[in-house]
Amino acid sequence: MHRIVVGLVVIGFALGVAGAQSPAPPPPLTEQQMAEAFDIYFDLCSGCHGPTRQGATGPELTYDTLGPKGEGFIRAVLYSGLPGGMPGWGSQGVLDDEEMALMAAYLLNPVPEPPLLSFEAIHDSWNLIRPVEERPTEPQTTRDWRNYFGVILRDAGQVAIVDGDTYELVALLDTGYAIHILRSSRDGRYYQAVGRDGKASLIDLWTEVPEVVAEARPCLDARSIESSKMDGYVNDYIIEGCYWPPHFVVMDGLTLEPLKLVSTVTYDRGRGERVDAARVAAIVASEHSPEWIVSIKEAGQTWIVDYSRLEAEGQPLGVTILDTELFLHDGGWVTGGRYFIVAANNEDKLVVIDTHDNSLEAVIDVHALPHPGRGANWVDPEHGPVWATGHLGSDHLTVVGVDPEGHPDTAWHVVRELETPYTGNLFVKTHEASPWLIADATMSIHPQGPSSLCAWRKDDLENSRTCWQVEGAAEQSARMVHIEFNADGSEFWVSAWAPMDKESFIVVYDSQTLEELHRIEDEWLVTPTGKFNVNNTANDVY
Ligand code: DHE
């Protein structure tokens, strides 16, 4: 009954029924309640709605926007979620009734000022666990470390290193809170991990059992990390981009010693309003120049950061600023490493950056809320080299032409739209050794969406869609999320991401037949999300 009433309130709002009364004043909260709600907000909401609740992927959450709708409406949305990505925190059992009431009241109160972080405090957070001279000079393991998978165990704040040949757990390492992603150094030896709490961890894979060799906390809230990848600079530097405070920090690539802090407070595309909460989203490293391509989300800018002069006394980082599109989020390289495509997700656009001449190459209109992860590259039989993204807000995958020299007519145009059975896709992936393009539907609000996967044959995209329910996933309330191939592309792994009190697992599929080959199931496998194969992450295979 409760569910039905809540559902009706949500539908009522969607139809514009709610919100006719004049807004009630913000409900009073004690200091302790504000602090508790601040932590929940930071944990569950700020990623989409912004640290100052100004809105980004999700809408603005302030008294101005929510006051007219009232507490009942907010609680209903918190319970049921909304199509297009807002999770149902209540229906998923993440928030209980008391917490939803607290959050509804909190969101009607004035936005508290989030704390800042000085360079000194960042430097104080630095912890060098194993100095470089005490590290091995060659791999100490007989395992094929290039086929390791680093598996994010989100709510355990850990990374599991799993042997991709034997499926054995090689190491379980403590990292940042609500750990988000891993990236690999270009030589594959190190993983860089970033937690939502901003903690960076450097993981050495050459010791017999992989270990965390350095840590630092350059941000209070973060999603992205990357290393220097150009020849001559490999492992020299690591950059971490912050969601909060609005800055990025460059660290030493082998020790994580913080070296340079750069504020990202800027103006909306250089001419609009000043953006105080300009967050750093996707960062990629060029292999042909000493540069990182840094997405400044709320400013609608792409910063190309040249790290080659960092060692010179008094020399700043060189930053080229491109005005691009608002709400840059995630993206990946087009094979070849010249073009970087990033989703301007709340603008329903893809932005293409040419990293040879550091310019905005194209902006492509697509369906609602593109969410590529790093996207997927392959050669289409008709259109040549293409790259694909899924969408959080639309039941499509979009395929765009990416070959301006060989296929100028279709370059940076949508060449195919593939229908998916559900909205709420998060990741797509392929590998040149597999005939298939794979997609999840993690954020679908359809009862069967999150436990399903779909695949399309790349040589017959229009006629070959095959979708299946993953056995046992729905029973564990698990959402299938994030596809990753092994080093030779013969298998792909997908996480069944269940709540803490249920059983998560990873399914290993044959990349030719889509047949299930193996399940990784064990006590240590707590809330697995992203998986990063060393070879594929180091070499940008996707
Ligand atoms: Fe992510 C990538 C931000 C929620 C799993 N995520 C990214 C990137 C950004 C981002 C900016 C690109 C980093 C890069 O390339 O440098 N993610 C955000 C959010 O703001 C958001 C929407 C909400 C939040 O509060 O964090 C969010 N992300 C999630 C999840 O809920 C996921 C599914 C599980 C989790 O971590 O809680 C999740 N995000 C991932 C993964 C990648 C990622 C696995 C890397 C994909 C890849 O293949 O590279």
Write out pLDDT tens, residues 164-209: 999 999 999 999 888 999 999 999 999 999 999 999 999 999 999 9
Is pLDDT of 16 > 70? no
Q: Which atom of ligand 1 approaches the CA of 45 most closely?
A: 25
Closest atom, ligand 1, to C-alpha of 530: 44
Instruction: Summarize the confidence of residues 445-449 as an average pLDDT.
Output: 94
| Pocket around ligand 1 at a 6 A CB cut-off | 47-48, 57, 154, 180-181, 223-224, 281-283, 329-330, 373-374, 426, 481-482, 529-530
* Distance between CA atoms of residues 186 and 201, nearest Å: 17
Distance CA 356, CA 337 (A): 9
**Beta-strand pair 148-153/528-533:** antiparallel
Q: For ligand 1, atom 28, which residue shows the shortest CA distance?
A: 180
Whether the per-residue pLDDT at 19 is higher than 50: the answer is: no
Per-residue pLDDT at 383 exceeds 60: yes
Question: Is the pLDDT reported for residue 256 higher than 90?
Answer: yes
Closest ligand 1 atom to residue 482 Cα is: 44
Task: Record the tokens describing residue 267, joined without a space.
Answer: 């103006």
pLDDT of residue 12: 36
Q: Say if residues 41 and 33 touch (Cβ distance below 8 Å).
A: no
pLDDT at 8 over 90: no
d(CA 242, CA 224): 7
CA of 341 to the centre of ligand 1 (A): 16
Does residue 396 carry a pLDDT above 80?
yes
Residue 223 Cα to ligand 1 middle (Å): 7
- CA distances, 26 to each of 11, 212, 367, 429 (Å): 24, 46, 37, 45
- What's the topology of domain 2-106? Cytochrome Bc1 Complex; Chain D, domain 2 (1.10.760)
Where is average pLDDT lowest: 177-181, 230-234, 428-432? 177-181
- Check if 2-106 and 115-145+176-323 are the same fold: no
Q: How much is the average pLDDT of 320-325?
A: 97
CA of 191 to the centre of ligand 1 (A): 17
Q: Report how far ligand 1's centroid is from the alpha carbon of 297 (Å).
A: 14
DSSP bridge partners of 341: 332, 352
Buried residues in 63-82 as b, exposed as e (16+ CB within 10 A): beebbebbbebbbbbbbbbb
Task: Give per-residue pLDDT as tens, 23-54.
Answer: 888 899 999 999 999 989 988 898 889 888 98
- List of residues 6+ apart from 128 with CB closer than 8 A: 213, 214, 255, 256, 257
Helix (H) and strand (E) counts for the chain?
A: 8, 35
For residue 180, how far is its CA from the centre of ligand 1 (angstroms)? 6
Q: What is the b/e burial string over 446-481, where b = at least 16 CB atoms within 10 angstroms of the residue's CB?
A: eeebbbbbbbbebeebeeebeeeebebbbebbbbbb
Report residue 21's pLDDT band, with 50, 70 and 90 as the boundaries: low
Question: DSSP state, 268?
Answer: G
User: What's the mean pLDDT when you consider all of the chain?
Assistant: 93
Ligand 1, residues 41, 45, 180, 264: which to mutate, most atoms within 8 A of Cβ?
180
Whether the CB-CB separation of 261 and 129 falls below 8 Å is answered with no
Is the pLDDT reported for residue 289 higher than 70? yes
DSSP type of residue 77: H
Which ligand 1 atom sits nearest the alpha carbon of residue 183? 49
- Smallest CA separation from ligand 1 atom 36, residue: 180
Within 13 Å and on the Cβ side, how many CA atoms surround 166? 9
175, 179, 181, 183: CA torsion to nearest 10: -10
pLDDT of residue 52: 85
Task: Indicate which residue's Cα is closest to atom 29 of ligand 1.
Answer: 180
Q: Which fold has domain 115-145+176-323?
A: Methanol Dehydrogenase; Chain A (2.140.10)
* Residue 7 pLDDT grade (very low, low, confident, very high; cuts 50, 70, 90): very low
Structure tokens, 34? 């504000």
Whether residue 3 is predicted with pLDDT greater than 50 in this model: the reply is no
pLDDT at 389 (0 to 100): 98
Tokens of 13: 């709002």
CA of 157 to the centre of ligand 1 (A): 15
Q: Are strands 384-391 and 414-419 parallel, antiparallel or unpaired?
A: unpaired
Measured between alpha carbons, how far is 49 from 28 in angstroms, rounded to an integer?
22
Give the catalytic positions in this structure: 45, 48-49, 86, 329, 371
- How are the residues of the chain apportioned to helix, strand and coil, as percentages rounded to the nearest 5? 15, 35, 45
Domain boundaries, the chain: 2-106, 115-145+176-323
Atom of ligand 1 nearest to the CA of 226: 16
Using the predicted structure, report yes or no on whether residue 373 has a pLDDT greater than 80.
yes
Q: Whose CA is nearest to atom 23 of ligand 1?
A: 47
Phi and psi angles of residue 268, each rounded to the nearest 5 degrees, phi first: -55, 110
Q: If you take atom 41 of ligand 1, which residue's CA is the nearest one?
A: 530
Q: Is the pLDDT score of 93 beyond 70? A: yes
More confident residue, 415 or 270: 415
- Ligand 1 pocket test, pick from 46, 223, 243 with the greatest ligand atom count within 8 Å of Cβ, gives 223
CA distance 26 to 104: 10
Query: Does 5 score more than 50 pLDDT?
Result: no
- What is the average pLDDT across 357-375? 98
d(CA 531, CA 55) in angstroms, rounded, equals 29
Q: Map residue 120 onto helix, strand or coil.
A: helix
